Each structure stands twice: as C-alpha cells, then as structure tokens.
Structure 1
Amino acid sequence: MQDAPSALTAASESAMMKRPLEGVTIVDLGQIYNGPYATFLMAMAGAKVIKIEPPGGEKMRRRGTVGGAMLPFAMLNSNKEFVTLNLKTAEGIALLKQMAAKADVVLENFAPGTMDRLGVGYEVLSALNPRLIYAAGTGYGSYGPNKDMLAMDLTIQAMSGVMASTGFPDRPPVKAGPALCDFFGGIHLYGAVLTALFRRERTGQGSLVEVSMLESVYPSLSSTLGLYYGSGGQNPPRTGNRHGGMAEAPYNVYGCTDGWVALLCVADKHWEGLLQAMGRTDLLAEPRFKDLQARVDNIDELDALIEGWTSQHSKADLMQILTAKRIPSAPVREIDEVVNDPHMHARGTLKRIEHPELGSVVLPTGPMIFPGTEKTELVPSKTLGADNDAVYADWLGLEPEDYAALKQAGAV
C-alpha cells in the first residue's frame, strides 16, 4: 500500500484545502522558547509570521553557531519573515503601531508591563486595531502577588513542583532535562490565540489573551497531586522512574544487557502478558502480586523480579518480546537515535535540511498534521533583518523616502 502523500492523485492535490491559518498575519515579538514556539506552530499552519528582533538580534541568535548553540533558534523560527526594529526609538515605536494596525495578532513574552512602559501595550494597540488579538506569554501572569518575579524555565520548574517531584527520594530535587515549562507555556499560548481568533470570527472583536507558564504546567502534576491528596496532604516523595502517584506497578525503567527499557502495565491483561513473556504465569496466583494494589504494596520485590528477567536480554530482543505481547514499552534512546528516528522522518515531522548558517541539521516541522491541506515546506530561519525590505516596503507599504529615513534614524 502506498503511503498517503504518494497515493494522492493530481486531481486531489488540486482540490486540497488551504492551510488553516492562511491569510492570518502575526507580529512576533517572542524571545527564547515560549513565544517563538507558539508562533512557529502558527507559521507551520500557514500564518504569515513577521519576527521582530532588536538590531543586535534576539537572545538565542546571539549565542552564535559554534557548537550548535544557535540550533534552538533555527528550530523555533523556520518559516518566518525576519525584520529588525529598535523599540528604544520613537520611530521604532511608531512603526510597531503601524504594523499592529494591519496585523491580526501581536504576540510577546516580555516581563509583564514592558510593552505598556514602551507605549505599545494592549490598550494602545487595540485602539488602533479593534480586531487585534494581543497575546502575552508570562511566567506568572500580569496580576497576582508573584507577577513581577523573573521567570525562566528553571525557576518555573522550581516554583511549580516539577523539581520537587523529579529525581529519587534519597537525592536532591532535579530539573527535568527538557525546557518543559517554556514549551508548555508556548503550546497554551498557541491555543489561546487560536481560541481568540475563533471568537473574533463570531463577534468581530479582538481581545487580550495571556498565558502563564506556571499555570500551564500545573495540570501535568496530576499523578503527583493524586498521591498528595491520597495521603491526606503529605508532600509526596520523589519517585524516580516509578509512577508519580505510586498508583501503577510495574511502572519503571529496567536494565538490560545494552541499556534500559521502560515498561508499564496499566491493565491486568498487560500484567498477564508480561508474566507470559517472562515464563512466570505461576505468579498470577501469588498473593504479593494478585492485583494492582498488591503489586504497588510490594513494588520493590516486583521491580527486582522484572529486572532479573530484563537483565538477561538486549533492548532489541526485549522490544520484540514485549511488542508481541502488546505490553506498553519503549527502549530508552540516546539523542542521536531520536534525531535520526525513522518513524518521525517517515512522517515528515522531522526533516534534514541544509541550514544557511548551521549546515546539515534535522529540524522539526511541527507535530500538527492537517490531512487534505496544502503542504507547508520547511523554510529555514534567515539572517538578521533578511526581510526588512519585503516587510516594510512591500507589506507595510512605506514610501521609499520614509523607509530610508527610518534606516537613517536606526529604527530598523
């Protein structure tokens, strides 16, 4: 059977729908991960995203290309148009107002109050464009006792309980490896913008939306919170690779001859299948493991029993056995295995390209797939200010002499 893309006929290709956000223009003032990820998702859904950077470039761009330090910038800024704008000049502020008057969305993730102090906050911009969606990504929100605390992924992990619930019980708390809070915030910011655009379709009115990183990550603590409430309000211990609510067993990472495999049994059929794979169906009647609660109560013995079996096999052999028994499991993969994952490359959600500054790299195209929609080709991030002429002269329609004056004044 042909895969979906190659099976499409010329007729069906010509009948494809436009991309979901075709015709929507985003003025992107995002920086680091939070805002840029939200606007990257919009760009890959077909929006025109104009990324505004200060004359020296956005913080992640300034890391440079040595050692791949600029790769995150490339990952989050594909398919955008790049302009420079100096918001420390009166001319730059006036230019942003002109852009907001023509755009559908202005998005930023500065500290709360920054845009108001510059004179381009929601009240000012919405007066110029009543249909404007103004989106603000923040650490703690624009109001509340902690609104002025500086927020980075590390500090939100500390404040949110992510650190307290990550690691092993006999060791200090640790941060999660990925920048979870930044990206959780960015995903919710994308959702908030799309929700506001949907409301605008119904009412004709723009609006202000804000998303807090702290509040975005809180629901992910659900298992840990279950243990907290289930213990009468006692702070749960860190559970290592075990279930955060200590409500599932087996649920762990088990050693094998060449690494580790993660496996869990969330239903009795999984447990029965695992015992069959282990050749230990005699344990079905064992009181220590007879039901889920018994397995949780005897989790140390259970884990030792399972690892005694897994330690005799390779990752590949284990995955063949576990997959055949339909047991939820996966090998613990190194980063190079993930970057070159045949599955994601086959789906087109990872793509190897030649980046003009970084050379051959693998970049994401985004996790959202819209079957029957025109394909978005990945366009790598560009050099600083690469689209100044196209955006300011063509899209915004500045007269040549006005545009020249702005460049002379250092506003762009």
Structure 2
Amino acid sequence: MTALEGVKVICVGQFYFAPYCSMLMARLGADVIKVEAPEGDPYRRLPTVDHDGFPIQFRFLNSGKRTIRLDLKQPGGQEILRNLVRTADVLVQNLSPGAMDRRGLGYEQLSAINPALIMASGTGFGSFGPYAGQPAMDLTIQARSAIMSTTGFADGAPVRTGPSVVDFVAGTHMLSGVLAALFQRTRTGRGQHVEVALQDAIIPSLTSNIAGLLSEATESHERTGNRHGGLAVAPYNAYRTNDGWIAVLCPTDAHWRRLCELMADPATDDPRFAAMSGRCADIDEVDAIVERWTSARPKDLLAQMLVEAGIPSAPVVTLPELLEDPHVRERGVLRTVTDEQGSFMTIGSPLFLSDSPMVEPWRAREVGADTDEVLTNELGMSVDDIAKLREAGVI
C-alpha cells in the first residue's frame, strides 16, 4: 500500500509550481490526471529536449501522470472538469490569478459540486494584499522578495539563484497544505481551499538575511556572496582548492577548534579568533587563513579530511559531476527508467516513507494521450460523445 493510494488528483497546472506538487503526490501513490489546454503545457515547447526529442523539463515534472487535453475556455470543457471533480479528492492549479473563477471553476463553485474536494491554488501573491492578482514567475518573485538583492557579491549586481527555488519551495508548501487538508477531512468530512503564494513560501528562507538587517549588534550587508547571510558565522564560505572549490563552515567554536588542528596554522592562535563574534568581526582575515590551507590541496582530499574531523563541508560539484555522483545515483531522486521504448531520465521522489514505497514513474505522455480513456472510464462517455467533443475542439 502507498500513502496516497485511492486519492484522485486533478492537476490544472503549468510550468513548475503546481506540477511539482502533483508529481510528489503521484510518487506517493495518488492517481494524477493532468489537464492541459489544447496547445499543451508551455514547457512542452522548450528547446531543451532529450535524445528522443521530448522536452526534459516537462518529462521531469509530469512522468507518472495521466494527461487529457481540455479547452477550459469553452463551456463544454468546463462541464467536463466539473464532472471530473465530482469524484476527485484534490484539484491543484496555478493558472493566472482569477482564471478559474472567471470560468466558473473557482472553489465556491466546485465545492458546491463536491463538498469533500480539496482545492489548492498557487499564485504569485495570494488572494489579498496590494499585489494580489498580479502575474508572477520565479524570476519576478525573486526580484520582488529580496532573493536577488541578497544573492551575489557586495560589489556586483543582484543575481537570480541558479535553480528555480521559488517554484519548487512553493510546490512543496502546496503539498504540505494539501496533505494537512486531507488529514483534517478524515475528521470533518469536508474539503477546503488551500492557498499558497510564491512570495509567502520563499520569505522564510531569508531568516538569516533579515536577522542580519535587524540586529543592532552586527553590521548589515545586503549581499554577502558565499558568506553567511547575516554575517553571523565565520568561517562560512567557498574556498579555492588546487582543482576547484570547497564549501566550509564552522557553526560553533568547537568546529573552529577542530579546523585549526587540521590547518596547523600559527595565525589561528590569535585570541581574536577564539570566539564567533571575533571571527565575524575579522572575517576577511579568517577567510584568508582558511583559503591559504585549502588552496594547496585538492577538493576531494579536503572533503575527506573535513568529514573525518566532523566539520561541515562539501566540494563544489559541477552539474556533470552531480549526475555521475554515486550517492545521487543510489538515492534515485534523479533516476533513469527503462520501458519498452528505451530509457529516460526523470525525477523520483525526495520523500522516503518506510511503509509506503515510491510509485515508479512511467514516461510522460503526449498531450491528450489519455483523454479518451479518462472520459470513457471516469465519466462513462461513449465513442460518439467523445467524437463530438473532439469535433467541437473541446478536447
């Protein structure tokens, strides 16, 4: 048995936000039906394709889901969605703000059809507040939420984070809200609306940066490069090695003392460096001492020495190195699946439950590949009914 066995999810999602939430639910055993506009999810048209010409981003986020083509701008498409909702447990969506309500598919309308429905809506800024209703994407939320202004080096321009952290953090928050609502429903019998805003989801990650701003005991810096966001921990940086870089941090004085033993540098005997406050006050000197030691050694040797000493550290790996990492391969979050068509890479699950095995994802399908099967088996439509809908451009 899987954690979400028997749970039916309708995903009216696009890009990363809602699709990541529904992907995690699929890996937990839910039956996920992805609803796409006639032209398909925009990420089906990205130029980053696999060896078989299929868009990689779409495959990563949508393997393991059934997919139907449905024009929600047409009354016929709206009616089909309402009928699917009658037997659904969850609907997740991140269409443009207000799009579902304008089509008569908002929570109030859908919950009247199925009071047990849990509907999760993802937007940039939520349903209230001065920015409510404004369109948003990962990049614009990073700009509006001080992620860009706190990323990069003090003498450089604001920088977007490499990964799309906002979309994936928000998708994880959406999953949390849906699971909480499912649990509450076991006691009340009622569904509810779950709202997750991209900006709300990412702001807590700025805790160290905000602490540095509010603290009167330390100097505030907007961008700190690879140093601690509040400049409250030292050493805490990426240091040059003779073959790349390594990240090292000492969150306690005990960690620093163990690092000093490894470095065997007389400069560390300076009493200014004995306590965290002193090291933070003279952070440039501390970083110079550490890099003097790391720059003479390879990153993998340093990583081994630091791990053995119990000091938090890691070599800075490249993307090609990550894909070949034996630990990443064994964990299977990035996984290669083999089927009758060959092999493809997709995302497994970062959630490991001891009594709920992950459902192995199948290959993401072409847009509308499961439309006929879903309409027949879920709604009992005839071949003629489906043909008429297709002729009208509804499916």
Question: Which position in structure 1 is the counterpart of 2:365?
Answer: 382
Would you say how many aligned residue pairs link Structure 1 and Structure 2? 393
**Cα distance in 2 between the residues matched to 1:174 and 1:285:** 37
CA contact (8 A) 2:154 2:223 kept: yes
Supply the distance in 2 between the matched residues of 1:53 and 1:92 (Cα, whole angstroms): 11
- The answer for the alignment partner of 2:125 in structure 1 is 140
* Alpha-carbon shift at residue 399 of structure 1 (Å): 2.7
2:35 is matched with which residue: 52, 57, 62?
52
1:41 to 17, 24, 34: 24
TM-score where L is the length of structure 1: 0.91
Q: TM-score, normalised by structure 2?
A: 0.95
Aligned to 1:267: 252
Alignment of 1:364 onto 2:331 = no
1:93 matches 2:93: no
Q: Counterpart amino acid of 1:271?
A: W
Instruction: Tell me how far apart the structure 2 counterparts of residues 410 and 19 of structure 1 sit (CA, whole Å).
Output: 37
DSSP-derived class of the 2:42 partner: coil
Gaps of 5+ in 1: 1-17
Does 1:399 find its partner at 2:351?
no
Report the counterpart of residue 176 of structure 1 in structure 2.
161
Matched-pair contact (CA < 8 Å) for 1:53–1:85: yes
* Structure 1 partner of 2:224: 239
Equivalent position of 1:290 in the other structure: 274
Give the C-alpha shift of residue 354 in structure 1. Answer: 5.0
The answer to whether structure 1 residue 151 and structure 2 residue 136 are counterparts is: yes
Unmatched 5+ residue regions in structure 2? none
Counterpart-to-counterpart distance in 2, 1:65 and 1:296:
43
In the alignment, what sits opposite 1:326? 310
Q: How far apart in 2 are the matches of 1:211 and 1:159? A: 16
Which of 72, 80, 95 is equivalent to 2:57?
72
> In angstroms, what is the RMSD of aligned CA positions?
1.9
With over 3 angstroms needed to count, the CA separation of the structure-2 counterparts of 1:185 and 1:334, relative to structure 1, is same
Structure 1 residues 64 and 312: CA distance shift in structure 2, 3 A: closer
Q: What are the Cα deviations for residues 32-64 of structure 1, in whole angstroms up to 9, with x where unaligned? A: 000000000000000000001111111001225
| Identity in percent | 44
* 151 and 232 in structure 1: CA distance in 2 versus 1, 3 angstrom threshold: farther
Q: Secondary structure at the match of 2:86?
A: helix
Encode CA deviations 1:155-188: one digit per residue, 9 max, x unaligned.
0001111011111111111111111111111111
| Residue 92 of structure 1: how far off its partner (Å) | 0.7
> In 2, are the aligned partners of 1:275 and 1:283 still within 8 Å (CA)?
no
**How many Å separate the matches in 1 of 2:132 and 2:392?**
35
Q: Could you report, residue by residue, the CA deviation over 1:270-324 in whole angstroms, capped at 9, with x for unpaired residues? A: 11111111123x5564222111111111110111111111110011211121112
**1:380–1:231 CA distance, 2 compared to 1 (3 A):** farther
Alpha-carbon distance in structure 1 between the residues aligned to 2:387 and 2:221:
62
Question: Counterpart in 2 of 1:255?
Answer: 240
Q: Which amino acid aligns with 1:71?
A: I
Verify the 8 A CA contact 1:283 1:289 in the aligned structure 2. Answer: no
- Is the counterpart of residue 26 in structure 1 residue 44 in structure 2? no
| 1:148 Cα deviation after fit | 2.2
The 1-side partners of 2:47 and 2:81 are apart by: 27
The yes-or-no answer on 1:165 pairing with 2:153 is: no
Alpha-carbon separation, structure 2, partners of 1:74 and 1:180 = 19
Give the whole-Å Cα distance in 2 for the aligned partners of 1:351 and 1:200.
Answer: 34
Report deviation, 1:72. Answer: 1.1
Q: Secondary structure at the match of 2:327?
A: helix
Residue number in structure 2 paired with 1:10: none
2:175 maps to 190
CA contact (8 A) 2:151 2:159 kept: yes
The 3 A distance-change label for structure 1 pair 45 and 66 is closer
Q: Any idea what SS the aligned residue of 1:49 has? A: strand
Alpha-carbon deviation of 1:356? 9.0
Q: 1:112 is matched by which residue type in structure 2?
A: P
Report the 3-state secondary structure (helix = DSSP H, G, I; strand = E; otherwise coil) of the residue aligned with 1:249: coil
Give the aligned partner of residue 339 of structure 1: 323
